[in-house]
Amino acid sequence: MDYRLRLAKRMLFNKRSSLIGAVLAVTIGILVIHVNFVIFQGLFDAIVRDISNYRNGDILVTDESDYIDKSDLLLVNWFERIPYVEAATPRLSSTAEINMIKNGKRYEETRIPIVGVDPFRDIRTSTVHETILEGNYVFSRNSIVLGSNVAKDLGGAQVGDSIKVKVVDRWGEDQIQRFTVSGIAKSPGGQGFDYTVVIHIDTLRDMLSRSGQTGSIMVKLNDPSKALEVKEFFLRSFPNDDFRAETIEESAEQQLAGFRSGIAMINMIGYFGMMSSAFAIVTIQMMLVNGKTREIGVMRSIGAKRKDILIIFIFQGMIIGAIGAGVGTAAGLGYTYYAKETKMEFNNSLPLEVTYNWEKITQTALTSFFLAIIASLYPSYRATKLLPVEAMRTA
């Protein structure tokens, strides 16, 4: 048995460059999948994060047919009694026409989204106030926050400028009011209120002639995993109202559906890349078989069975798979750690929301390991078909 072990070692380690090439093929295949996951899944999760933080919360409550007529104070207090709820806030939305005169020139923008917020509750529920680039968030009924792109389109509006806002109320009448710019909002990637203006919710209610009405209730949870439970509890508690309560996945479904399909396609491409590394292993193993024809012949001539040859090359495939999976996973985790700690972004896009998906990490490592073994089966089979005399004559 000792001679078989010695020959096996020679067969395994004499062609180190070929083995390193096979390991690199597995490593690169795994690393590509990790990089794809970090970038594309991280971008997807970042969009979900920002939609949740800026616009919809973990739960978004609206009315099935129109505006919410029930007291927003009652609904907010109801939510905030639930242990899982961190805060809740009312919002009201419409569109507006905005104009201002700057340096003797009139600037005008139409169909600008306008959002009314409760400035005291909103800062506990959303992170819009953290995107204020200059000045302050809405703090009075005549203050307005401009999105950075709106401010730019208005000729470079600045904090302290006076602007006119016109909206159409529920009766079809134009309502015009003058505001003082209190802040300019800018968020990475433009996912916040960069194309929106924000005013006090009571001011917008007065302008729209919708006293006491609310467009939506934004709910932030301290445990987002309880969103479905809180949503169902809310709907059971108000069975006679036409409320619609949606989790972030439901309320942002239209925005995320196309992106989710893109991620699936990118992941598929990544696994095709892993398949190509399996073909590389087949090629390298075939080269090893061809290069070890004499050793195979010697082993067969001194009594080695076909299964012994088969086991040697399968074991070689296991070593390639194990080392490649280990190195590739380590490299992928290193890249993931770097992206998470540096809050990676590209050209001022929104920072990626990077997470460690251990299930996917394990699945990728095991898949690459078993692919390496499967890729070794055919070369191993070819090695067992070599006859001793032919093998030694060919060498």
Specify the pLDDT at position 156: 92
**Out of 26-35, 69-78, 261-270, which region has the weakest mean confidence (pLDDT)?**
261-270
Residues 208, 115: Cα–Cα separation, whole Å: 12
Among 192, 210, 241, the domain boundary falls at 241
Among 241, 265, 296, the domain boundary falls at 241
Percent of the chain surpassing pLDDT 70: 81
Q: Quick check: is 233 in a domain? A: yes
Query: For 138, phi and psi rounded to 5 degrees?
Result: -55, 125
Residues 206, 188: Cα–Cα separation, whole Å: 32
Number of domains forming the structure of the chain: 2
pLDDT at 9 over 60: no
DSSP 322-348: HHHHHHHHHHHHHHHHHHHHTT--STT
Q: How confident is the model at residue 219 (pLDDT cuts 50, 70, 90)?
A: very high
Q: Quick check: is 180 in a domain? A: yes
* Residues 42 and 90 both lie in one domain: no
* Residues 34 and 71 both lie in one domain: no
For 259-280, write each residue's pLDDT tens digit: 677 777 777 776 676 677 767 6
* Residues 172 and 307 both lie in one domain: no
pLDDT at 334 over 80: yes
Mean local confidence (pLDDT), 46-55: 90
**Out of 60-64, 182-186, 360-364, which region has the weakest mean confidence (pLDDT)?**
360-364
Residues 71, 334: Cα–Cα separation, whole Å: 51
Specify the pLDDT at position 357: 86
Mean local confidence (pLDDT), 270-291: 68
* Residues 112 and 36 both lie in one domain: no
Q: Quick check: is 248 in a domain? A: no
* Residues 112 and 188 both lie in one domain: yes
Q: Quick check: is 381 in a domain? A: yes
Task: Show the tokens assigned to 110.
Answer: 């139409």
* Residues 225 and 89 both lie in one domain: yes
* Residues 270 and 170 both lie in one domain: no
Q: Quick check: is 251 in a domain? A: no
Nearest partner of 332 among 3, 33, 31, 101, judged by Cα = 31
* Beta strands 197-200 and 105-117, pairing class: parallel
Q: How confident is the model at residue 395 (pLDDT cuts 50, 70, 90)?
A: very low
Q: How confident is the model at residue 209 (pLDDT cuts 50, 70, 90)?
A: very high
Nearest partner of 45 among 343, 373, 364, 352, judged by Cα = 352
**By residue range, what is the domain housing residue 78?**
66-241
pLDDT at 12 over 50: no
Mean local confidence (pLDDT), 353-373: 86
pLDDT at 67 over 90: yes
Specify the pLDDT at position 131: 94
Residues 40, 16: Cα–Cα separation, whole Å: 36
Q: Quick check: is 145 in a domain? A: yes
* Residues 194 and 270 both lie in one domain: no
Q: Quick check: is 59 in a domain? A: no
Specify the pLDDT at position 261: 72
* Residues 165 and 101 both lie in one domain: yes
pLDDT at 142 over 90: yes
pLDDT at 15 over 80: no
Query: For 186, phi and psi rounded to 5 degrees?
Result: -145, 125
What average pLDDT does the structure give for the chain?
A: 84
Mean local confidence (pLDDT), 388-395: 51
* Residues 17 and 81 both lie in one domain: no
Specify the pLDDT at position 373: 81
* Residues 301 and 218 both lie in one domain: no
Mean local confidence (pLDDT), 70-86: 95
Among 191, 216, 241, the domain boundary falls at 241
Neighbours of 225 (CB within 10 A): 9
Mean local confidence (pLDDT), 244-253: 88
pLDDT at 383 over 60: yes
Specify the pLDDT at position 256: 73
**Which range has highest mean pLDDT (198-207, 236-245, 263-272)?**
198-207
Q: Quick check: is 56 in a domain? A: no
Query: For 214, phi and psi rounded to 5 degrees?
Result: -135, 145
* Residues 231 and 315 both lie in one domain: no
